Amino acid sequence: MNTRGLLDQLLRSGQDLLQNKGVARQDGAQQSGKSGGLDLGSLLSGAGGGALAAGALGLLLGSKKARKIGGNVVAYGGLAALGVLAYKAYGNWQQKQASAPRGEPQTVDRLPPAQAEQHSHAILRAIVAAAKADGHIDERERQLIDGEIAKLTGDVELQGWLERELAKPLDPAEVARAATSEEMAAEMYLASLLMVDETSYMERAYLDELARQLSLDAGLKVELEAQAQKALDAVPA
């Protein structure tokens, strides 16, 4: 499966969501009678779209979360951006922990293709799970997401895997089992942070349980949250 390529497209597509969010908000307000946010109708009509990947990502995240993707994540560029943020957080944590390993953090942006693919698979699993944390993905939206993903990749094995991930019940423990290194766990938690609305009780509870299941050190968790906040602060209002 070429998970790495698909994940990179999805992360890069945040730029399209940012560039079009003003149009989408206006369109969404006309359709729903409310101001602010992207809605499913505007995404499907193309007002909030841009690239196909932006449509897929918007459907995954739902209206209230789509606006959060961008900032430094877009500036660094796709999957490499996530690795850079994780590397910074991991490095900062290492410096503060006398007992922490002193080797160079092996984040996804610094790995050979085979290992980067393994990390990408775990990160995408975390993103799909985070998208389900507020329960917004119903059967109709899942079918729409499947359709958008099919436009992005002809990899039948990857499409089938994503369909199964979307359909399965949310289980932070099962998600966490994909992490085979501390750096991978950090990337999975960081990706989840960037995808959820932390003001939602359900989503905050999911994040806390994911961190627990990933066995993240409390100090590393703080550093990851700080890096995520810096990225999100750079997103235009």
Residues 87-126 pLDDT 10s: 999 989 988 887 655 678 899 999 999 999 999 999 999 9
Over residues 49-67, mean pLDDT: 55
Q: What confidence category does residue 63 fall into, taking pLDDT thresholds of 50, 70 and 90?
A: very low
DSSP string, the chain: --HHHHHHHHHHTHHHHHHHHHHHHHHHHHHHS--SS--HHHHHHTTT-SSHHHHHHHHHH-HHHHTTS-THHHHH-HHHHHHHHHHHHHHHHHHH-TTS--SPP--GGGS-HHHHHHHHHHHHHHHHHHHTTTS---HHHHHHHHHHHHHH---HHHHHHHHHHHHSPP-HHHHHTT--SHHHHHHHHHHHHHHS-TTSHHHHHHHHHHHHHTT--HHHHHHHHHHHHHHHHTS--
Over residues 145-164, mean pLDDT: 88
pLDDT score, position 142 = 83
Q: Which pTM value belongs to this model?
A: 0.79
Q: What confidence category does residue 8 fall into, taking pLDDT thresholds of 50, 70 and 90?
A: confident
Over residues 69-80, mean pLDDT: 54
What mean pLDDT value characterizes the chain?
A: 76
Q: Pseudo-torsion of CA 201, 227, 114, 76, nearest 10°?
A: 120
